[in-house]
Amino acid sequence: MSSSPTSGGVPALVLVSGPERVLADRAVDSTLTALRSVEPGVEVIRLDADAYEPGSLVQHASPSLFGGVKALVVRGIDAGTDELLADTLAVVAEVAAAPPGDLTLVVEHRGGARGKKVLDTLKKAGARVLEAPAIKTDREKSEFVTNEFRRRGRRIDPAAVRALVEAVGRDVSELAAACGQLADDSTGVVDADLVETYHGGRVEATGFKVAETALAGDTPAALRLLRHALAGGLDPVPIVAVIASQLRQLVKVSGAGRGPSGSLAKSLGMAPWQIDKARRLANGWTDDALGAAVQAVAAADFDVKGGGRDPVYALERAILTIGRARTGR
């Protein structure tokens, strides 16, 4: 069985499946855009699971006395009440049995077991399924950035991808916004210098500079960068988090053996350029030294989150310990 297309070639039933908010929002927006391309006056009704009133979906799905095309968007059905799940199943069954031609039901499911019966019913009814998979690893974020520029007809060089992920990669929505800003405000190939101009002063970018310099063994330079960052008002907690993240990557790559970085990227959850960087930093490190560095950063993490009296001293001590571990002193 398949749901018949309504306006703009959009079927009567659409399922947006996956936890990534940016991709889910785009899937809904693209569906509504397709509807509006044929029916500019389409009525869009959004129903959120956490504020759902029993019966409202069924009521909105009923034919209007005044006619017109409607799009019902049900957000977060994976967190829906029993009433919302029951109402959605009822509307899906009615639409699947006799597609009305003037109604499109869009259901968002972010993951988990709750609402699975709705998912299965939608799929069995032939709903169009739009995936919104999670973007978690740095490799996935790097691919996301590259694709963001590609869909805008623009190019970004690998060093700029690296700089942008390091600067704003903690939040995918913010990463998407940064890509859009760079694409809109520039011409030609986006390079690392442009990313540095826009985002070089962010705590994440500063943290990466401190971490990379410390792990490379240049302790004096790492301390200078750290003091500059702290003087600018940056908090020690995210800086420790970035150092810990970089150290974990170094440990992963050190234990992964040889092989092309592209082949290892997926299994390690890293982008190829991150593997190449970690391999460069791994020169001079032994397993015992890495263990000592991990312990030092773990202690600093505890101290800066309230376990110690002086977070700044704890962070400086961790960088000094990292330097001594690397040189074997």
Domain ranges for the chain? 7-131, 138-199, 203-327
Q: Which residue has the tokens 């049900």?
A: 74
Q: Which CATH class is domain 138-199?
A: mainly alpha
Give the C-alpha distances (Å, rounded to integers) separating 120 from 50, 124, 230: 22, 6, 52
Residue 306's pLDDT is 84
Q: Dump pLDDT digits (tens) for 212-234.
A: 899 998 999 999 988 888 877 77
Dihedral of alpha carbons 294, 300, 303, 308, sign:
positive
If pLDDT is split at 50, 70 and 90, which confidence band does 1 have?
very low
**With 80 as the cut, is the pLDDT of residue 203 above it?**
no
Task: Classify domain 7-131 at the CATH topology level.
Answer: Rossmann fold (3.40.50)
Residue 265's pLDDT is 84
The residue among 208, 319, 199, 181 whose CA lies nearest residue 273 is 208
The residue among 76, 70, 82 whose CA lies nearest residue 110 is 76
**With 90 as the cut, is the pLDDT of residue 328 above it?**
no
Q: List residues bridging with 147 in a β-sheet.
A: none
If pLDDT is split at 50, 70 and 90, which confidence band does 11 have?
very high
Number of neighbours of residue 327 by Cβ within 10 angstroms? 11
Contact (CB, 8 A) for 203 and 229: yes
**With 80 as the cut, is the pLDDT of residue 152 above it?**
yes
3-state secondary structure 292-320: HHHHHHHHHHHHHHHHCCCHHHHHHHHHH
Here the tokens at position 3 are 């749901």
Q: b/e per residue, 286-314, with b = 16+ CB within 10 A?
A: eeebbebbbebbebbbebbeeebeebeeb
Architecture of the structural domain at 203-327: Up-down Bundle (1.20)
Mean pLDDT of the chain: 89
Residue 222's pLDDT is 92
Residue 131's pLDDT is 96
Contact (CB, 8 A) for 96 and 13: yes
More confident residue, 127 or 162: 127
Cut 0.85: pTM above it: no
Dihedral of alpha carbons 166, 168, 173, 177, sign:
negative
Here the tokens at position 185 are 């405000």
Q: Dump pLDDT digits (tens) for 269-280.
A: 888 888 888 888
**With 90 as the cut, is the pLDDT of residue 132 above it?**
yes
